[in-house]
Structure 1
Amino acid sequence: MSGSPPPEERAKADAEARAKEQAEQAALPYKWDQTIKDLDITISIDAKYKGRDLDVKIGRNALKAGIKGQEPFIEGELPHVIRVDESTWTLTPTSDGKDLEIHLDKQNQMEWWPHVITTAPKIDTSKIQPENSKLGDLDGETRGMVEKMMFDQRQKEAGKPTSDEQKKLDILEQFKKQHPEMDFSNVKMG
């Protein structure tokens, strides 16, 4: 029995993977959200804490956030480099305490992060649906480029050829058909 599982099994597996992912993310001591350009982390803390009680360090590829003298809420290496000068943190009062909000500006503004720090559980970045309005705000050329990059990212993660590689393969196939007398066994792609 070869081939891929039937669609209903795949849907069930996807739903289970999503539920597991959501549970893992919900268990983290922070919430996070991202766009293709930046990433926002929210940590709910007690209203009694002020900015000076916090220990927040934002590095090019590391992050630490916590209350001085306590176990940090988040500490570790970032999966990708950020722009430290553009990254900030603020303390915002909420109805039941305060939110420590950390804004990280991605260095590469064309990639999705699977997690905030490398020790945290990953999300499946191939399932991220960019907000259509955001993609719609881009002009045709940029939008096409972003969609191509997202497609290529998904293909790479699935071990499949990117759109450019596929194009080369298609051209080569076409050429092979037109020249059956030539030997292509040693042709290296890439």
Structure 2
Amino acid sequence: MSTSTAPPDPTPEELKASKEKEEAEQSALPYKWSQTLEEVDVAVPVPEGTRGKDLIVEIKSTSFKIALKGQEPILEGTLFKSIKVDEATWSIADRKTVEVHFEKVNAKEWWPHVLTHHPKIDITKIQPENSKLSDLDGETRGMVEKMMYDQRQKEMGLPTSEEQKKMEMFEKFKSQHPEMDFSKAQLNM
């Protein structure tokens, strides 16, 4: 019988070194990027004064390329995952940055990198932006509010909404059947 043990948690020094290495790798990339679960935005510096007609921008479902006409690509490679090509856009900001916007086909996962040949980030450390309950549709909002209520109730040692419903139904049943003895009745919660 063999037993496997999980590796020890990294020390604060190891975590700091890992974070510094990741930051150095990301700052060395020829672009800056950010993401949400649904989208990826890439900002690629180009020579000041660059216009759209000076560029070759190719966006495909699994790859993309940016180049100045007649020159080697500034950026070219395979995307981490597929994007919605029809939703992709690009523009030039201040005639010195090409801004590219992708919508992910799978809008339920974080990308560790934009192009597969570039260094990865630790996606387990991503802190997603807080969404507001008011941003949710009615049904989802109601479900989230119920879950939050039940969580607070559990933390205080109080019954959840389902347990409260069961107790109310039991009390109603008891009042409708006074002839029955409920002294030894137990509710399974």
Deviations 1:129-177 (A, max 9, x none): 1012468844457879xxxxxxxxxxxxxxxxxxxxxxxxxxxxxxxxx
Q: Name the CA distance, whole Å, in 2 between partners of 1:82 and 1:129.
A: 22
Q: Name the CA distance, whole Å, in 1 between partners of 2:142 and 2:75.
A: 38
Match 1:125 to one of 111, 123, 126: 123
Identity of paired residues, percent?
A: 45
Q: Name the CA distance, whole Å, in 1 between partners of 2:133 and 2:43.
A: 25
Q: What's the counterpart of residue 58 of structure 1?
A: 59
Cα distance, 1:48 vs structure 2: 2.2
SS of 1:104's partner is strand
User: Counting strand residues as a fraction of each chain, which structure ranks higher?
Assistant: 1
SS of 1:118's partner is coil
Q: Name the CA distance, whole Å, in 2 between partners of 1:45 and 1:3.
A: 46
Q: Name the CA distance, whole Å, in 2 between partners of 1:143 and 1:72.
A: 47
CA 1:55–1:142: 2 relative to 1, 3 Å: farther
CA 1:99–1:113: 2 relative to 1, 3 Å: same
SS of 1:15's partner is helix
State whether residues 82 and 106 of structure 1, in contact with CA within 8 Å, keep that contact through their aligned partners in structure 2. yes
* 1:10-159 matched pairs, under 5 angstroms: 10-93=11-94, 98-133=96-131, 137-138=135-136, 139-140=140-141
CA 1:122–1:68: 2 relative to 1, 3 Å: same
State whether residues 136 and 143 of structure 1, in contact with CA within 8 Å, keep that contact through their aligned partners in structure 2. no
Q: Name the CA distance, whole Å, in 2 between partners of 1:55 and 1:99.
A: 14
Q: What's the counterpart of residue 186 of structure 1?
A: none
Alignment gaps of 5+ in structure 2: 146-189
Equivalent position amino acid for 1:83 in 2: K
Alignment gaps of 5+ in structure 1: 145-190
Cα distance, 1:125 vs structure 2: 0.7
CA 1:132–1:78: 2 relative to 1, 3 Å: same
Q: Name the CA distance, whole Å, in 2 between partners of 1:53 and 1:46.
A: 10
Q: Name the CA distance, whole Å, in 2 between partners of 1:42 and 1:118.
A: 17
